[in-house]
């Protein structure tokens, strides 16, 4: 992001950036940056908190009024209140992560997605949006496609112009978005950690994706290995296996 700021300023456009990783910003030395102490993925703070988001945006834009620079790096004086767990939130009722063999894990994934459909409909009614759609497949199709990979097969891509490993990654992203949206439906406001703990440690879908990662790491296809190693399970959630 710092490099983008540099290029745009060189072309005559003033920039101010949000910084989520202060050491990185100190290295790139952009013209102006506002460091925020929020988790990665939330540069403007908590969702559904317009007042907080406005304070972050305005604090960044105010850096443009400094007359002396570069480099300006200021710290935002406040933390994300939604980072705290919400005691009223309960994980959705879904298949649990008890299965061990590939066939059962794949069935658990498809069944788990099916069980969350009502909750996800509730999410869409509540929020008027979904971020599911990257793969271009219906969610049941995405589940079926990923389940085939979990079973140890390498199914061809059902979409022209998308390789099978790329479509597998996109379908996995859709499954994650679908589950996390479904799990957040309702009036409770879970933290991202609560949602992640449920998905990666307790849900049948998360268990299947852990297994998918392991299975794909043993692939002879370097693209599949690359995706498995880096783009299915977050680094902080990877299980160490012997």
Partner 1 sequence: MARLTDLPPAQAKRLAEAECPNFDMRPWVTGPALSRRRVAIVSSAGLFVRGEVPFRGRDADYRAIPSETQPDQLLTSHISVNFDRTGLQEDWNVVFPLDRLKELAGEGTVGSVAATHYSFMGASDPLEMEPHARQLASRLKNDRVDTVILAPV
Under rule CB under 8 A, which residues in 5-64 are in contact with partner 1? 5-21, 23-24, 27-31, 37-48, 50, 53-54, 56-58, 60-62, 64
Residue choice 192, 214, 221, 225 for contact with partner 1 (CB under 8 A): 192
Residues 150-189 that bind partner 1 (CB under 8 A): 166, 170, 173, 176-177, 180-181, 184
> Angle between the 102-115 and 139-150 helix axes, to the nearest 10 degrees?
170
Q: Of the two residues 107 and 216, which places its CB atom closer to partner 1 in the complex?
A: 216
Q: Of the two residues 144 and 169, which places its CB atom closer to partner 1 in the complex?
A: 169
Cα-Cα end-to-end distance for the chain:
38
Does residue number 128 form part of the binding site for partner 1 (CB under 8 A)? yes
Q: Of the two residues 107 and 181, which places its CB atom closer to partner 1 in the complex?
A: 181
| Closest approach of partner 1 to the CB of residue 189, in Å | 9
Q: Of the two residues 71 and 98, which places its CB atom closer to partner 1 in the complex?
A: 71
Does residue number 2 form part of the binding site for partner 1 (CB under 8 A)? yes
Q: Of the two residues 54 and 103, which places its CB atom closer to partner 1 in the complex?
A: 54
Exposed, middle or buried: residue 101 (CB in 10 Å: 0-12, 13-18, 19+)? Answer: exposed
| Collapsed DSSP state (helix, strand, coil) of residue 21 | coil
Using DSSP bridges, classify how beta strands 72-75 and 32-35 pair: parallel, antiparallel or unpaired.
parallel
The answer to whether 97 and 204 are in contact (CB under 8 A) is yes
User: What is the separation of C-alpha 66 from the centre of its chain, rounded to a whole number of angstroms?
Assistant: 35
Q: What angle do CA 145, 174, 138 make, to 5 degrees?
A: 60
Q: Of the two residues 43 and 92, which places its CB atom closer to partner 1 in the complex?
A: 43
Spatial separation of the C-alpha atoms in residues 50 and 53, rounded to whole Å: 5
Residue choice 133, 155, 158, 186 for contact with partner 1 (CB under 8 A): 133
| Closest approach of partner 1 to the CB of residue 74, in Å | 14
Instruction: List C-alpha distances in Å: 147 to 101, 117, 119, 160, 226.
Output: 12, 17, 21, 20, 19
Q: How many CB atoms lie within 10 A of CB 168?
A: 28
Residue choice 196, 208, 210, 211 for contact with partner 1 (CB under 8 A): 196
Residues 70-89 that bind partner 1 (CB under 8 A): 70-71, 82
Residues 96-125 that bind partner 1 (CB under 8 A): none
Residue matched to tokens 């949000």:
18
Residues 211-240 that bind partner 1 (CB under 8 A): 230-236, 238
């Amino acid at each position: 992001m710092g490099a983008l700021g540099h290029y745009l300023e060189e072309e005559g456009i003033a920039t101010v950036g949000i910084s989520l990783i202060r050491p990185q910003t100190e290295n790139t030395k952009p013209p102006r940056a506002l460091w925020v102490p929020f988790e990665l993925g939330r540069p403007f703070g908590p969702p559904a908190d317009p007042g907080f988001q406005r304070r972050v945006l305005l604090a960044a834009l105010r850096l443009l009024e400094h007359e002396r620079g570069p480099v300006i790096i200021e710290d935002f004086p406040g933390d994300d209140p939604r980072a705290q767990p919400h005691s009223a939130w309960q994980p959705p009722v879904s298949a649990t992560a008890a299965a061990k063999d590939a066939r059962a894990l794949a069935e658990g994934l498809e069944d788990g997605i099916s069980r969350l459909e009502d909750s996800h409909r509730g999410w869409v009614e509540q929020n008027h949006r979904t971020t599911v759609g990257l793969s271009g497949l219906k969610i049941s199709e995405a589940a079926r496609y990923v389940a085939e990979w979990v079973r140890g097969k390498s199914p061809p891509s059902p979409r022209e112009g998308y390789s099978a490993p790329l479509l597998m990654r996109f379908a996995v992203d859709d499954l994650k978005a679908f589950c996390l949206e479904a799990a957040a439906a309702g009036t409770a406001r879970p933290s991202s950690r609560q949602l992640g703990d449920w998905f990666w440690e307790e849900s049948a879908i998360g268990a299947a994706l852990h297994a998918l990662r392991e299975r794909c790491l043993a692939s002879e296809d370097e693209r599949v290995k690359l995706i498995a190693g880096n783009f299915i399970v977050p680094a902080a959630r990877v299980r160490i296996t012997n």
